[in-house]
Amino acid sequence: MSAREQTQFLEVIDRDEAERRFRAALDLSPLESEIILISRTLDRILAEDVLAPIDVPAFDRANVDGFAVQAADTFGSAEDSPRTLRLNQEILRPGVQPHETLRAGTATSIATGAMLPRGADAVVMIEYTEIRDGQLNISRPVVPGANVTFTGTDVGQGEVVLRRGEQLSARETAVLAALGVAQVRVIRQPRVAILSTGNELLQPGQPIRLGCVYDSNSTMLADSIRELGGEPIPLGIFPDDDEALDRGLRLALEYDMVLLSGGTSKGEGDLAYRAVARLGKPGIVAHGIALKPGKPLCLAVIDRPSRRPLPVAVLPGFPTSAIFTFHEFLAPVLRRWAGRQDEATTTISARLPFRVNSERGRTEYLLVGLVESRSEVVAYPMGKGSGSVTAFARADGFVVIPRQREYLEAGSVVEVRLLAKKVKPADLVVIGSHCTGLDFLLGLLHEQGWTSKVLNVGSQGGLEAVRRGECDLAGVHLLDPYSDRYNEPFVTEEIVLVSGYIRRQGIVHRRGDERFEKDRIDKTIRDPECVMVNRNRGSGTRLLIDRLLGEARPAGYLCEAKSHHAVVAAVAQGRADWGVAIEPVARAAGLTFHELQEERYDFLIPRERQQRPVVQAFVALLHDPFVRQQLAERGFPAE
């Protein structure tokens, strides 16, 4: 049966069953050991115990500048009745071996770190001594062992100082250096070959072409492998070509693991899983797993003579899908090979602010950002899909939605699995409408040393977040249809309104499109042949669009963009003929702008958070005359 006819491809199976099949075909014991220089041991795992080859310190050592003495000679000394000792001629400095034996009634000058002379059992600090006529007067007594570290006090020769399985940090490498150890035996790092597949991929640094994307997955995977103690081997980008993929995979067979990014689905253009199927037995153990994101994941194992079975994974091409499936299925294997412990999952309980729909039959990983409300933690879904490059980087954790669930209700308390061991809260939490003027202000705030977290959920979502006390401020441009005023009608006693700036919203289209001449715009936007791009529900811009269109629903009405940048990109690329966006973003994209309305973009602050230092710093920036001038130059005047 040919690779194209194999029936196991995209036969969707449960996540746990896929993991069981994959691991059953692998050797999960740590890799063999190797001896390396300590200059390369940071973060490596020891393969055997380290015994101290010497005593540390290797000699009795002075801890202070002063005079080596026999402690008994100092007993009874005081400021008004000092004890007097004869001063020896020898002066002891670090690295100098003493030649004179210290006798009773005598003292020898000694520096910090120097070797104590034979016969001495203590050091008197220089502050409590005075030299007169070659005699040393001591005004404070010392006990035996005072200001001295004796041989082997820190480590004794033959003592176990580091144990196998320990991960070496700067502290441990310092111990090795102090013992004079130049090289140690550690577990070998897993070497992981990475192949990116797809005709649409470009290397970062190349000029972007329409229809193409930059290969971010190889960088993401390489750094993830390093974090797990492995060594990534990027083999480059391979086109959708059978011969090219076969050549790349033949090179990859020499390594411990092979990762391909892209080419996991069942379409004719996806060749990677077919190339993997040609590598050997047992071959593909799972292709299609009931996950979201990550359904197309392909897992295979290839037997090799006299070597460990080789795991091969064809990861989905979308970044979020790729990183999730990597951490779920491949990361645990790499940890075990590198001798590292499985990481304990850190979870935190949080409440969902609104309903989240899911797809029955697939376990879903929902990325969320965490914010603190008045008495609880709130988990805001990131909602950017598996193709997002930034969602995983900006998320704090994820919620696992079981495959039997179709939705999670608003207000549900969920367990969030943290992506890092500890979530570091941002100084300022901003929830509301997206605006490039706000981006500029937060950049200035960042220069002052403050951090911020921004969740763009629209003006209405920002207002609700302020009411619930889930953020420090919300940028809003909400038009009240009854008073025809912005933002003020929505303020209550628990909300403070801080005046922001003016924005101009308008219809944007490509230059030279004669359909949008001023006297024809109203008719054009209702033309069935003229495609629009809409804004997300809950945004102030969406309210303006619905007010403009009335009952009309032009082509593209259901296509919702999450930001002004996304609107102008759709129009500039010809995917839509028009949309509504703010003037500065439209002008920057080279589009024609027809003003619809001048609106106020203001900031709502929960009164209980008004006095927070970071909120005060933001308000101060907003009122600064120089900042106001910069905002105006960017198209956001105060009035």
Residue span of the structural domain in which 181 resides: 33-56+154-187
CA gap 457, 435 in Å, rounded:
12
Please report whether residue 234 resides in a domain: yes
Give the integer Cα–Cα distance in Å for 363 and 381: 16
Strands 201-202 and 213-214: parallel
pLDDT at 240 over 90: no
Closest CA to 340 of 19, 31, 14, 585: 31
CA proximity to 326, closest of 181, 464, 220, 419: 220
CATH of the domain at 407: 2.40.340.10
Please give the distance of CA 292 from its chain centroid, rounded to a whole number: 21
Assessment of whether the complete model's pTM goes beyond 0.85: no
- Claim to verify: residue 373 and residue 493 sit in the same structural domain: no
Cis preceding linkage at 528, omega within 30? no
Are 197 and 181 part of one and the same domain?
Answer: no
Distance separating alpha carbons of residues 401 and 497, to the nearest angstrom: 38
Instruction: Answer whether residue 325 is part of any domain.
Output: yes
Distance between CA atoms of 503 and 161, rounded to whole angstroms? Answer: 66
User: Is 80 exceeded by the pLDDT of residue 263?
Assistant: no
Could you tell me if 589 and 459 lie in one domain? Answer: yes
- What contacts 474, CB < 8 A, 6 or more positions away? 430, 431, 432, 433, 459, 462, 463, 465, 466, 603, 604, 605
Over the stretch 31-74, which tens digit does the pLDDT of each residue have? Answer: 999 999 999 999 999 999 999 999 989 999 999 999 999 999 99
pLDDT band at 137 (very low <50, low <70, confident <90, very high): very high
Shared domain for 584 and 521, answered yes or no, is yes
State residue 388's pLDDT score: 61
Residue 501: predicted pLDDT: 95
Q: For residue 251, is it within any domain?
A: yes
Structure confidence at residue 8 (pLDDT): 44
Q: What is the chain's length? A: 639
Question: Which candidate, 373, 432, 451, 424, places its Cα nearest to that of 618?
Answer: 451
DSSP string, 566-618: HHHHHHHTTS-SBEEEEHHHHHHTT-EEEEEEEEEEEEEEEGGGTT-HHHHHH
Q: What is the mean pLDDT of residues 452-466?
A: 91
pLDDT(270) > 70 = no
Q: Are 554 and 545 in contact, with CB atoms under 8 Å apart?
A: no
As a whole number of Å, the end-to-end CA separation of the chain is 73
Q: Looking at the structure, do residues 452 and 530 belong to the same domain, yes or no?
A: yes
Q: d(Cα 10, Cα 294) in Å, to the nearest integer?
A: 12
With bands split at pLDDT 50, 70 and 90, how would you rate the model's confidence at 10? low
Same domain assignment for residues 219 and 308 = yes
My answer on whether 240 and 312 are in the same domain is yes
pLDDT for the residue 1: 35
Q: What domain count does the chain have?
A: 5
Same domain, 497 and 639: yes
Backbone torsions φ then ψ of 214, nearest 5 degrees: -80, 145
453 lies in some domain: yes
Q: 438 or 404: whose pLDDT is higher?
A: 438
Examine the fold and report which residue of 162, 187, 212 is the final residue of a domain before the chain moves on: 187
Contact residues for 484 (Cβ-Cβ < 8 A; gap 6+): none
- Distance from the Cα of residue 63 to its chain's centroid: 44
Task: State whether 558 and 441 are in the same domain.
Answer: yes
* Tokens, residue 403: 């495959």
When pLDDT is cut at 50, 70 and 90, the band that residue 78 belongs to is very high
Does the pLDDT at position 269 exceed 80? no
pLDDT of 336:
94
In a domain, 626, yes or no: yes
The whole-number pLDDT of residue 342 equals 81
Query: Tell me, what's the pLDDT at 58?
Result: 92
The CATH number of the domain holding residue 88 is 2.170.190.11
For residue range 324-375, list pLDDT tens digits in order.
899 999 999 999 999 998 877 888 999 999 888 888 888 888 889 899 887 8
Q: What does the pLDDT read at residue 465? A: 93
What's the Cα-to-Cα distance from 222 to each of 544, 550, 595, rounded to whole Å? 45, 51, 47
The answer on 612 and 463 residing in a single domain is yes
3-state DSSP call for residue 562? coil
Q: Which of 391, 418, 445 lies at the terminal end of a domain, its last residue?
A: 418
Let me know if residue 212 belongs to a domain.
yes
User: What's residue 285's pLDDT?
Assistant: 93
**Using N-to-C axis directions, what is the helix angle for 436-447 and 625-633, rounded to 10°?**
140
User: How many helices (H) does the chain have, and how many strands (E)?
Assistant: 16, 38
CATH code for position 297: 3.40.980.10
- Please report whether residue 329 resides in a domain: yes
**Integer Cα distance of 619 and 1 in angstroms:** 69
Read off the pLDDT band of 2 (50, 70, 90): very low
Mean pLDDT, the chain, rounded, equals 90
Please indicate, yes or no, whether residues 100 and 139 belong to a single structural domain of this protein: yes
Q: 311 to each of 32, 249, 321, how far by Cα in Å?
A: 17, 12, 19
d(CA 417, CA 414): 10
Predicted pLDDT of residue 484: 87
Instruction: State the pLDDT at residue 632.
Output: 94
Kindly state whether residue 342 falls inside one of the protein's structural domains.
no
**Percentage of the chain lying above the pLDDT 90 cut:** 65
**pLDDT over threshold 50, residue 105:** yes
Q: CA 393, CA 391: separation in Å to the nearest integer?
A: 6
Domain with residue 38: its CATH number is: 3.90.105.10
> Could you tell me if 429 and 472 are in contact, meaning their C-beta atoms sit under 8 angstroms apart?
yes
Maximum separation of any 2 CA atoms in the chain, in Å: 112
- Flag whether pLDDT at 151 surpasses 70: yes
Pair 583, 440 in one domain: yes
* pLDDT on residue 6: 43
87, 121, 149 - which closes a domain: 149
Q: Has residue 261 got a pLDDT over 80?
A: yes
